[in-house]
Amino acid sequence: MLFNALSRSIRLVLTPIRERHFIVLPEKKLVYARVPKAANSSIKYTLAEHLDWKRDRREGSLGPNNDLFWLDGRAHGTDLLGAQSVVARHADCFVFTYVRNPYDRVVSCYNNKIRIKDEIQPSFARLGFSLGMSFAAFVEKVAETGDDRADNHFRSQMDILSHRGRYLPEFTGRCEDPDDWPKLQLRLREEIGFEIGPLQTRHVKRQGRDDLIDYYADPALVRMVRERYPTDFEHLYADAADLPAALKQLNATG
């Protein structure tokens, strides 16, 4: 136990948890590039269905939604790595990710980290966020916080998913497109012989996205999000044809 704790501490000094975006299942030849607030919990629970963690789980032990579950997961065949380690050690693995339209992701982050919380996370408090702040004040704070300081829940997705200018995922699914999960299932089946199974939906707080128009009633907020995430829009959402009506309207006015 002491050795494991010491080993974990050393690994986190070398690569902090903030930079460990990649869940690796080496025996499956699979890497999941995780983006917070983009079906992340659902995908982690889906991957955990292929592990022995439920059988071996003890009361009070960590579950799949905790980063340390994956960081300490070598006993059940997983790891949580930074981009450089993935490129150097797992180049033969299939890398996939899921992304979310920045307008919607910012709203999700606000609701989950500010609006419904009883206590603010230290990583948000250090940046000047506070419980009870308005959505407009939240967006302003997000807009002025660069990716080098941002909490991963509002860090740009392209910054998370790229390494030295190279975009790492081979498959990118969109949260807005229900057809993308079957497409991923087919790619994994054909390319690495892995049956990932159905998506285990978890932690869905909002149904639909029609409320986005209310959140972004002020055009200035639309502009701030658009300007905060230029590479996300350019590389991940340049074509909004498949997005829900509320997001299409925001993309058009942004």
Would you say the pTM of this structure is higher than 0.75? yes
Measure the CA–CA gap between 128 and 105, rounded to whole angstroms. Answer: 19
8 Å CB contact between 247 and 104: yes
Task: Tell me the two tokens of residue 188.
Answer: 């994994």
Beta strands in 136-244 (DSSP E): 162-163, 166-167, 171-174
pLDDT the model gives residue 55: 54
8 Å CB contact between 101 and 35: no
The backbone torsions φ and ψ at residue 36, rounded to the nearest 5 degrees and listed phi first, read -55, 140
Gyration radius of the chain over CA positions: 18
The backbone torsions φ and ψ at residue 108, rounded to the nearest 5 degrees and listed phi first, read -60, -45
Helices 245-253 and 219-228: crossing angle in degrees, nearest 10, is 80
Residues of the chain whose pLDDT is less than 70?
1-14, 53-61, 73-75, 203-209, 240-243, 254
**CA quadruple 22, 153, 51, 16: dihedral positive or negative?**
positive
Measure the CA–CA gap between 97 and 9, rounded to whole angstroms. Answer: 27
pLDDT the model gives residue 70: 85
Q: Which of 21, 39, 41, 40 is nearest to 31 (CA)?
A: 21
Q: Which of 98, 91, 85, 87 is nearest to 32 (CA)?
A: 98
